[in-house]
């Protein structure tokens, strides 16, 4: 299904944003409701379900925090995320130096955290049961941990030298956090430990001969502005402004040396890319100019470029129940990419007489039926 993703002509997402769309998130409980955050501070909540049952339909916006809302973000919303365990709450962070915790039903902030600098990224653990920490990456090199239970930002992780552009909790271990910075480094932390930092990823895997002294223990030769764990938490993908994507073994910290070729990345802030879920092989979906590049994660092959946006793509999010992809762009549009349906074969033509090359090799049936074996 992923190999046949195409721009869906029958599904529209209601156009409400008047500026670029920086961030999207689909709630993990039902996979039905999607949040979007825009460059003008607006947040919109959509229902992705087709309630009309018509083949052609528009995903409707249910509600929004618009420019006239008293608690709207004053500047660009960079990250939105649903509370991982129910849809009654979501979070948003912005260049206005705040992280807001929203009550979905009233669209009022239940809590607001203030920071000294621009907020680039935040993330809540999808698996945590023992803590309610939101990791926040800001213009400061210190990673902030905000506790939703106490309402305080008590915890700080120190070690980066420049602004923190992306943060991501492990989907496997609830206390493990990955952070990416403009200092070219990616650090893995255990937030229970006083010193915190477990390891700093090294693109050269410790081979000193390949690294000049200042490049030692860097993940990229440039700002690292994108992070994404594979769903089992065993590997971590990173993206940097050196136009490289790297795949790391997250338990050993080793660079797996998968070569994805040149992955153009001119973003001055965090880049929101994503991976497939429940597919074999697994795919990465990476905003690439006005297109989305689709790579196989473990071989590095560029499978296809999804073309449809008119301007820079800022974010994409995967809907695992139906293997669908949604993308947001500077062109103010959210596009739905849906697996192509195979044309039904008319009854009077036997399948055997059809030319076989129409079938994508990924669909080919490897089973033989007992009739053929006679």
Non-local (6+) Cβ contacts of 72 within 8 A are: 41, 42, 43, 65, 66
- What stretches of the chain show up as alpha helix (H) in DSSP? 370-373
- Pick the range with the lowest mean pLDDT from 7-21, 162-176, 241-255: 7-21
pLDDT of residue 361: 47
Question: Which pLDDT band, with edges at 50, 70 and 90, does 374 fall under?
Answer: very low
Pairing of strands 57-65, 11-13: parallel
Handedness of CA 106, 111, 116, 122 (dihedral sign): negative
Between these two residues, 43 and 10, which has the higher pLDDT value? 43
Mean pLDDT across the stretch 14-25? 95
| 238: three-class secondary structure by DSSP | strand
pLDDT(370) > 60: no
pLDDT (tens digit, 9 = 90+) per residue, 118-134?
Answer: 999 999 999 999 999 99
Before 281, cis peptide (omega within 30)? Answer: yes
What tokens does 205 get?
């895997």
pLDDT of residue 195: 78
Asked if 326 and 13 count as a contact pair (C-beta separation under 8 A), the reply is yes
What tokens does 180 get?
């990416």
Is pTM beyond 0.85? Reply is: yes
pLDDT of residue 357: 46
pLDDT of residue 356: 47
Question: Which pLDDT band, with edges at 50, 70 and 90, does 52 fall under?
Answer: confident
pLDDT of residue 209: 66
Asked if 241 and 265 count as a contact pair (C-beta separation under 8 A), the reply is yes
How many CB atoms lie under 10 A from the CB of residue 225?
26
Q: Which of 279, 282, 304, 274 is nearest to 291 (CA)?
A: 304
The C-alpha torsion from 63 through 337 and 57 to 360, rounded to 10°, is: -160
DSSP strands (E only) in 27-151: 33-38, 43-47, 57-65, 77-82, 89-94, 98-103, 108-114, 119-124, 133-138, 143-147
pLDDT of residue 62: 95
Between these two residues, 258 and 320, which has the higher pLDDT value? 258
Question: Which pLDDT band, with edges at 50, 70 and 90, does 363 fall under?
Answer: very low
Mean pLDDT across the stretch 280-303? 95
Residues 269 and 99: their CA atoms lie apart, in Å, by 17
pLDDT (tens digit, 9 = 90+) per residue, 171-219?
Answer: 999 999 999 999 999 999 999 987 779 999 999 998 876 666 666 789 9
Q: Which of 160, 157, 167, 206 is nearest to 184 (CA)?
A: 160
In the chain, the domains with their CATH numbers are 2-339 (2.130.10.10)
pLDDT (tens digit, 9 = 90+) per residue, 70-115?
Answer: 999 999 999 999 999 989 999 999 999 999 999 999 999 999 999 9
pLDDT(232) > 60: yes
Residues 14 and 284: their CA atoms lie apart, in Å, by 26
> How far is CA 4 from each of CA 9, 40, 250, 299, 362, rounded to the nearest angstrom?
14, 34, 30, 19, 10
pLDDT > 90 fraction of the chain, expressed in percent and rounded: 76
Residues 312 and 328: their CA atoms lie apart, in Å, by 9
pLDDT(18) > 60: yes
Residues 367 and 274: their CA atoms lie apart, in Å, by 32
- Pick the range with the lowest mean pLDDT from 42-56, 202-216, 234-248, 319-333: 202-216
pLDDT(354) > 50: no
pLDDT of residue 318: 96
């Amino acid at each position: 299904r992923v190999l046949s993703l195409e721009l869906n002509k029958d599904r529209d997402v209601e156009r409400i944003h008047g500026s670029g769309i920086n961030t999207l998130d689909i709630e993990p409980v039902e996979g039905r409701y999607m949040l979007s955050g825009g460059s003008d501070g607006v947040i919109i909540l959509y229902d992705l379900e087709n309630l009309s049952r018509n083949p052609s339909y528009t995903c409707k916006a249910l509600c929004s925090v618009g420019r006239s809302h008293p608690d709207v973000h004053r500047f660009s919303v960079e990250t939105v995320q649903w509370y991982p365990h129910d849809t009654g709450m979501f979070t948003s962070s912005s260049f206005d130096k705040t992280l807001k915790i929203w009550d979905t039903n009233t669209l009022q902030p239940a809590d607001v955290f203030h920071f000294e600098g621009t907020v680039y990224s935040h993330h809540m653990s999808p698996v945590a049961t023992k803590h309610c920490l939101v990791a926040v990456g800001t213009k400061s090199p210190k990673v902030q941990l905000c506790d939703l239970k106490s309402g305080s930002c008590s915890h700080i992780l120190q070690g980066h030298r420049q602004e923190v552009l992306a943060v991501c909790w492990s989907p496997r271990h609830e206390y493990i956090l990955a952070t990416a910075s403009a200092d070219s480094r990616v650090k893995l932390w255990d937030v229970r430990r006083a010193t915190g930092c477990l390891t700093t990823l090294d693109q050269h895997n410790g081979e000193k001969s390949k690294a000049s002294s200042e490049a030692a223990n860097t993940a990229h030769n440039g700002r690292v502005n994108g992070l994404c764990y594979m769903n089992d938490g065993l590997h971590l993908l990173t993206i940097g402004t050196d136009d490289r994507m790297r795949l790391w073994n997250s338990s050993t910290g080793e660079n797996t040396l998968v070569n994805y070729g040149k992955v153009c990345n001119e973003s001055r802030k965090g880049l929101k890319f994503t991976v497939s879920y429940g597919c074999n092989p697994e795919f990465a979906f990476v905003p690439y100019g006005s297109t989305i590049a689709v790579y196989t994660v473990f071989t590095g092959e560029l499978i296809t470029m999804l073309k449809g946006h008119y301007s820079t793509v800022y974010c994409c999010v995967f809907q695992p129940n139906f293997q669908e992809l949604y993308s947001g762009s500077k062109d103010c549009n959210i596009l739905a990419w849906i697996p192509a349906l195979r044309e039904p074969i008319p009854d009077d033509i036997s399948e055997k007489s059809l030319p076989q090359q129409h079938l994508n090799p990924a669909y080919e049936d490897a089973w033989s039926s007992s009739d053929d074996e006679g």
